[in-house]
Chains A and B, each alone.
Chain A
C-alpha cells in the first residue's frame, strides 16, 4: 500500500518538475526573443525633434568664416524669435562612409539654436545635435536605421528652433530637398 502511495507521490513530483521545466523553458525563449528584438530589430529612429535643445553642439558643425561672425543680430520681440537660415537644396548621401554632404548654416545674426533633421519619404535619415548661431554644417552622419539604396530621392530639411533657455519654439521650417544617394 505504502509502496503504491510512494509511487503516486513520485509521479506527482515528476509532473510538477516537468511543468516547472516547461515554464522555465518558455521564460528563457521569451527573454531571448525580447533581447534579440531589442538588439537587432527595434526601431530607434528619432522622428520628433527634441522638446528641449540638446546640450551638445553638433560635432560635425564648424564656425562660420570670420567675416560672417560680426554680422548684427536680427531684431527679436520679447517672447518671440528670429532666425536666418542659409542652405543649398541638394544633398549627397555616401553609403560607403554613411555620411551626408550638405550645406547648411545657422548664421551669426540668428537668435535661436537649431536642430536640423533630414527626412526622406517620411523617415528621419539624419539629425543634428544643437547648431548654435555662427555655425555651419558641411557633413552629417547617416542614422543607422536609414535604409537607402543608390539613386535620387525627394527629401526635406525640418528645422526646429530653440531659445537661450533651450525651449523649443512653436514655429518650425520645412524645406524640400533633392537627395542623391551613391554607393
Chain B
C-alpha cells in the first residue's frame, strides 16, 4: 500500500512540473526576482556651430577698349600728328565681370573702377550699387556687371592698362 501511494505521489509531482511551461511570456511582475521592464535609451542630434564657408567664382571678359580720336591734324611746328578734341570709345562690354556665390551664406558684391596713373581722363563706368547674392545654388546667387568707357585717352596709348575693376565681397549686414 505504501509503495503504491509513493508511486502515485511521485507521478503527481512529476506531472506538476509541466505546469510551469504553460506560464505566459512576459507575465513576470517587477517584484519577481531577476525581471525588469525594458528601459528606453534616447538620443537627440544637436547641430554643432556652423562656420560659414565661402566659395566665390569670378569671371571676366577681355576688358579691352579702343579709343578713336575724331581727327588728327599735322602740327607744322612739331612735325607730328596732334589729336583733336573729342573722340569715341568702342562699345560697352556686357557682362564684363560676373560674380557667382557658391557659399553657405548669402554675400554682397560691390564693384568699383579706378583709373591707372596717367589715364585719369579715361573714365570707366560700372554699376557701383551694392548687390546681394543669395546662398549658393539660389536663383539670385549671381550678378553680372557691364563696363563702359568715356572721356579721352592720351595719344599714342597702345595696349596699356588704363584702370582696374575691384570687386568687394562681404557679408550681408542686417538691413541690406
Query: Given that A77-B61, A82-B57, A171-B97 are contacting pairs, would A89 and B165 also be in contact in the complex, using a CB cutoff of 8 Å?
Result: no
Query: Given that A87-B54, A173-B166 are contacting pairs, would A79 and B64 also be in contact in the complex, using a CB cutoff of 8 Å?
Result: yes
Does B18 sit at the interface, judged by CB under 8 A? no
Q: How far is the CA of A55 from the CA of B169 in the complex (A)?
A: 28
Nearest A-chain residue to B113, judged by Cβ: A170
Closest approach, in angstroms, between the C-beta of B167 and any C-beta of chain A? Answer: 5
Cβ-neighbour of B166 out of A77, A78, A89, A174 (below 8 A) = A174
**B166-A172 in contact (CB<8A):** yes
Q: How far is the CA of A75 from the CA of B59 in the complex (A)?
A: 8
Q: B55 contacts which chain A residues (CB < 8 A)?
A: 84-86, 107
Does A20 sit at the interface, judged by CB under 8 A? no
**B54-A89 in contact (CB<8A):** yes
**A175-B170 in contact (CB<8A):** yes
B40-68 CB contacts (< 8 Å) to partner A? 51-64
Does B155 sit at the interface, judged by CB under 8 A? no
**A84-B56 in contact (CB<8A):** yes
Nearest A-chain residue to B102, judged by Cβ: A84
Does A88 sit at the interface, judged by CB under 8 A? yes
Q: How far is the CA of A85 from the CA of B161 in the complex (A)?
A: 24
Does A76 sit at the interface, judged by CB under 8 A? yes
The proximity string for A residues 68-86 relative to B, scoring 1 for CB distances below 8 Å and 0 otherwise, is 0000001111111111111
Does B168 sit at the interface, judged by CB under 8 A? yes
Query: Given that A88-B52, A176-B170 are contacting pairs, would A170 and B58 also be in contact in the complex, using a CB cutoff of 8 Å?
Result: no
Does B127 sit at the interface, judged by CB under 8 A? no
**B64-A175 in contact (CB<8A):** no
Q: How far is the CA of A84 from the CA of B58 in the complex (A)?
A: 6
Q: B62 contacts which chain A residues (CB < 8 A)?
A: 77-80
Q: How far is the CA of A172 from the CA of B62 in the complex (A)?
A: 14
Q: A176 contacts which chain B residues (CB < 8 A)?
A: 168, 170-171
Closest approach, in angstroms, between the C-beta of A26 and any C-beta of chain B? Answer: 38
Q: How far is the CA of A82 from the CA of B96 in the complex (A)?
A: 12
**B168-A173 in contact (CB<8A):** yes
Q: How far is the CA of A85 from the CA of B100 in the complex (A)?
A: 11
Q: B166 contacts which chain A residues (CB < 8 A)?
A: 171-174
Q: B64 contacts which chain A residues (CB < 8 A)?
A: 79
**A173-B169 in contact (CB<8A):** yes
Q: Which residues of B contact A (CB under 8 A)?
A: 51-64, 97, 102, 161, 163-171
8 contacts between A and B (CB under 8 A): A82-B57, A88-B53, A107-B55, A170-B60, A171-B63, A173-B56, A173-B58, A174-B168
